[in-house]
Amino acid sequence: MHINIQSAISLKKYNTFGIEEIATNFIEITDPIQLLSAFEAGIFEKDFLTLGGGSNILFTKPYQGYIIKINIKGIQATTLKQDIFITASAGEIWNDLVWYCINNNYNGLENMALIPGTVGASPVQNIGAYGTELMNIFYSCVAFDTLEGVFRIFHNEDCKFSYRDSIFKSEQKGRYIITEVTYKLDTLPSINTTYGAISKELENRNITNPTIRDIAEVVSAIRVEKLPDPSTIGNAGSFFKNPIISLEQYNKLKELFPNIISFNMPNNQIKLAAGWLIEQCEWKGKVIGQAGVWKNQALVLINIHSATGNEIFELSSKIINDVYQKFNVKLEREVNIF
């Protein structure tokens, strides 16, 4: 099947940071079969990068290989007793899928409303927000193996999901191109309002018995209030992961910093709020050149107007260094750096 290779394409509109870098080659995939053609043409023997919505990527230099932009569309639902299996193509917009489910009364995606990006990227970092993670609803995905030139099916346990991580972001990073994802949902709602500001916002709206639509609307409203809109201020959401440390290390920190924000995790581990750590190092709202730290959430780095990827990256290094000096905790970048 035909593939169209475009040359010297600006990546500015393909990454939510709005970084101006050039891709030497750019291929848009609208049908999974085109991946076979690309394989036969030897494209995957060269440098390539699979691109969805570019909302978790920072370009720090021109991309000299092939950008493989995934734009495969389609959503299908199948009902089996009380389970609903939704299969969505990788190029579908995640938030469109969330609203497709809400409009059809399928439960499970509502707490993840308004996360930017595509369906194909959703398993890569096991996206999550407001107490739900993708791994809770992920059934399987189809992915093209760029080494072997075949399509493979990954079930939930194959993906080695963990906090903001999966096999596609760790040991097999870059190898597989996800073409479709199947989610297993429920027709019986199990509303989750315990996280962050959800219950407070429901109270403000006098909602005592929320539906999944209420949850999605409330989550979307909180997000719009708290996060910069990438269409006006370039960003990639949380730049860092929340660090997970041992109980022992936490107890030492708690003695030194009694107000430290923390959450219990399985296996005696503790999750720290990275935003709080950064704030304590007085980075919130600070700007260096064209790169800045968002005034309402210190986890989010922003492109003031015309930042280079390197300016953002250097700012992130300074923050990692300061947090390490103060708390002896090493922040990890969540955003993929290229």
Give the interface with ligand FAD as residue ranges (CB under 6 A): 16, 49-57, 70, 90, 115-118, 120-122, 124-125, 127-129, 168, 176-178, 227, 230, 235-237, 336
By a kind-dependent CB cut-off of 5 to 8 A, residue 120 interacts, out of ligand FAD, ligand NAP, none, with ligand FAD
Q: Pick left, alpha or beta for residue 8 (phi over 0 → left; psi -120 to 50 → alpha; otherwise beta).
A: left
By a kind-dependent CB cut-off of 5 to 8 A, residue 182 interacts, out of ligand FAD, ligand NAP, none, with none
Q: How many CA atoms lie within 13 A of 303 on its CB side?
A: 27
> What are φ and ψ of residue 29, in 5° steps?
-105, 120
* 99 contacts ligand NAP (rule: CB under 6 A): no
Element (H or E) spanning 322, and its range? helix 309-327
3-class DSSP assignment, residue 56: coil
* 194 contacts ligand NAP (rule: CB under 6 A): yes
Residue 20 designated active-site: no
DSSP string, 204-240: HTT-SS--HHHHHHHHHHHHHHHS--TTTSEEEEESB
Among 34, 179, 238, 316, contact with ligand NAP (rule: CB under 6 A): 238
> What are φ and ψ of residue 268, in 5° steps?
60, 30
By a kind-dependent CB cut-off of 5 to 8 A, residue 280 interacts, out of ligand NAP, ligand FAD, none, with none
* 227 contacts ligand NAP (rule: CB under 6 A): yes
**Distance (Å, whole) CA 282 – CA 293:** 10
The answer to whether 327 touches 242, Cβ cutoff 8 Å, is no
Of residues 130 and 154, the one with the C-beta less far from ligand NAP: 130
> What are φ and ψ of residue 10, in 5° steps?
-70, 135
Report in angstroms how near the CB of residue 263 gets to ligand NAP at its nearest. Answer: 4
Tokens of 195: 């996280």
Report in angstroms how near the CB of residue 137 gets to ligand NAP at its nearest. Answer: 15
Binding pattern for the stretch 241-280 against ligand NAP, x by CB under 6 A and - elsewhere: -x--------------------x---------x-x-----
Single out the catalytic residue among 122, 164, 316, 333: 164
Report in angstroms how near the CB of residue 113 gets to ligand NAP at its nearest. Answer: 10
Of residues 189 and 196, the one with the C-beta less far from ligand NAP: 196
Among 23, 129, 216, 218, contact with ligand NAP (rule: CB under 6 A): 129
Of residues 78 and 170, the one with the C-beta less far from ligand NAP: 170
Residue 175 designated active-site: no
By CB under 6 A, the residues from 299 to 338 that bind ligand NAP are 299, 334
Report in angstroms how near the CB of residue 226 gets to ligand FAD at its nearest. Answer: 10
Owner of token pair 């909602």: 207
Single out the catalytic residue among 89, 122, 140, 238: 238
**Distance (Å, whole) CA 95 – CA 115:** 6
Residue 238 designated active-site: yes
The answer to whether 111 touches 137, Cβ cutoff 8 Å, is no
Max Cα–Cα distance, the chain, nearest Å: 63
**Chain mean position to CA 35:** 24
Owner of token pair 């593939």: 3
Identify the burial level of 255 via C-beta atoms within 10 angstroms of its C-beta, where 0-12 means exposed, 13-18 middle and 19 or more buried.
exposed
Which listed range, 15-23, 82-90, 210-218, 236-244, lies at the site for ligand NAP (CB under 6 A)? 236-244
Q: Any idea which residues carry the catalytic annotation?
A: 164, 238, 334
Site residues, ligand NAP (CB under 6 A): 128-130, 194-197, 226-227, 237-238, 242, 263, 273, 275, 297, 299, 334
